[in-house]
Structure 1
């Protein structure tokens, strides 16, 4: 049953994300619920898409989840388009296998999207084991396990030395697991809770290789709370950055502030759209990670940025933070001008900035002040903005 070969096996990862996850609470399936700004499915897709030994990544989603996937999965370009799953996990895996059959992989890893903490090393071990035959990651059980009867009375103490808590990704030679699913479907069996159970049903040997205690599954609200705490603990390098920008008034009938269009008797002059708020925020984020300033990344001498929308500048700074494994914790901007009045537009600006950065609106602050008619702003010659950004990075990025 093993795949004896001198070349690297063609490996596919099948990410199962079609369940509803009702025990997690909320109004969307748990795999789409944010965990520090990124849902579990997005984290799982990113893990396998970036792994050098994985050639194909096939997500399987629920029948009504196309919009959620498009909005929240943030799938890397290498990920295949999602396919629709079925009413059971087994049916969903079968749909994913059917989609992958065209690519003829040697090995397939079947992974629950709600396990976002699997490591690249675990994926490598799964591939190696899958070349040998059906295999699952498992960790020793450390608690004492009791068998009970219907009245919740202890019947026996189970020998935990022989027990393993099984995880995903579970690994199989592709043809083996495809055949097993076809046999189970033909037999009317659609009740297996994991793929190793099919191999057991077919009386095949299933290897248990080393899993990871940290490869936990998100099931309940408490699991999500613990997951966020775990991620925050890993992002202990807290940094702040500041930004400032100013643009003079010029001809026009509106200004753009924070990505939001505000009618005004004048416009703002600048090489791009002269959005002082987004420019200041971009510099604040870049400053927090020590990555120069907006002029370094988007030089005004480059005609490419003539009239450009400034949302792409801030979005680029956000991606640089993500590339370092970090996240933006908070953004704060202060607009300095006599006119236009910022108050009526404050919430729209906050919402725009939150959308550009992927932050919740509670993590975005917009304030406004005047200079009591002093200086260029007081003389209504232009608008300035101050900004600060709080960024969390892993210590390894320091």
Structure 2
């Protein structure tokens, strides 16, 4: 089964696309994301969904990845809609692929996590999400912002990416995104979504640590 990754900015705020261009250790966050994916030889195609207003900047950020096989294994497709991006590259996708959807802001998701999601789809799960247990105490408040109770966190999880799909489940998700019904696997702390100045500092530390490991 071929494996296709769609890299998108999972928008929570209007500025999230620009966050993908935030510098981390001298390169855009997006550059780290795509380089990490291209380092996995079992990924057949990496498709970057670039918001129209950022398409040229996304292309510039990824232009230096030629030595990683960028020209052959990576495409940049302007457009935020997953369905549009999928339709644009549909002729390059085999009939029965494993499809992954990865948030561009989760730049340091370990390779083992990406592989585990893909393997779970190959093993028969039609929809897979990596998750972490909820560590914080979760309180319930009323309209007046007064605490009225405590959620039992035993079954609460924070969702990460990549999300893993069969073709049919992916097309359903692209039309109506929801994580309901997904099978879960263990996520990883390094797969954090980098959006704040503190998280950028953590990302910088992860990137520097990675470089130091490569030089040992």
The TM-score with structure 1 as length reference comes to 0.48
**Secondary structure, aligned partner of 1:168:** coil
Distance 1:230 1:124 in 2: 20
Asked if the contact 1:60–1:95 (Cα under 8 Å) also holds between the matched residues in 2, the reply is no
Larger radius of gyration: 1
Number of the residue aligned with 1:167: 160
* Cα distance change, pair 55–67 in 1 and its aligned pair in 2 (3 A): same
**Root-mean-square deviation (Å):** 2.3
Q: Of the two structures, which has the highest relative contact order with CA contacts closer than 8 Å and spacing of 6 or more?
A: 2
The answer on whether the counterparts of 2:44 and 2:73 sit within 8 Å (CA) in structure 1 is no
Name the CA distance, whole Å, in 2 between partners of 1:35 and 1:156: 40
Contact 2:45 2:73 in 1 (8 A): yes
- CA distance in 2 between counterparts of 1:180 and 1:222 reads 32
Deviations 1:221-267 (A, max 9, x none): 232123223433x1xxxxxxxxxxxxxxxxxxxxxxxxxxxxxxxxx
8 Å CA contact retained: 1:19, 1:62: no
Partner of residue 38 from structure 2, selected from 28, 49, 54: 49
Question: Could you say which residue in structure 2 is the equivalent of 1:214?
Answer: 190
Of 2, 5, 27, which aligns to 1:10?
2
What is the distance in 1 between the residues matched to 2:12 and 2:147? 33
Match of 1:152 among 125, 136, 145: 145
- Which blocks of at least 5 consecutive residues in structure 1 are unaligned? 1-8, 87-91, 185-194, 235-324, 327-393
Please give the residue correspondences for 1:175-214 in structure 2 after superposition, counting only pairs within 5 Å. Answer: 175-182=168-175, 184=176, 195=177, 197=178, 200=180, 205-214=181-190
Within 5 Å, which residues of 2 pair with 1:92-103?
92-103=81-92
Question: 1 CA distance for matches of 2:73 and 2:21?
Answer: 17
**Cα distance 1:17–1:79, how it changes in 2: closer, same or farther (>3 A)?**
farther
Assess, with a 3 A threshold, how the Cα gap between structure 1 residues 20 and 40 changes in structure 2: closer, same or farther.
farther
Aligned residues of 1:57 and 1:78 also touching (Cα < 8 A): no
Q: Check 1:65–1:20 CA distance in 2 against 1; reply closer, same or farther (3 A cut).
A: farther
**Aligned-pair CA distance for 1:395:** 4.1
Partner Cα separation in structure 2 for residue 128 and residue 100 of structure 1: 23
Structure 1 consecutive aligned stretches of length 4 or more whose deviation exceeds 6 Å: none
Contact 1:17 1:59 in 2 (8 A): no
SS at match of 1:83: strand
- Matched with 1:64 is 53
Q: Report the count of equivalent residues.
A: 207
Deviations 1:93-143 (A, max 9, x none): 222222332223411110010110101100110101223211100001111
User: Are 1:107 and 2:98 an aligned pair?
Assistant: yes
Task: Return the match for 1:37 from 17, 20, 26.
Answer: 26
SS at match of 1:208: strand
What is the rounded CA distance, in whole Å, between the counterparts of 1:99 and 1:231 in structure 2? Answer: 32
Q: Deviations over 1:18-66 (max 9, x none)?
A: 8596567xxx801011101111111111111221221111000011223
Gaps of 5+ in 2: none
Listed as ranges, the matches of 1:263-342 within 5 Å are: 326=211
- Decide which of 61, 73, 78 is 2:72's aligned counterpart: 78
What residue number does 2:204 align with? Answer: 228
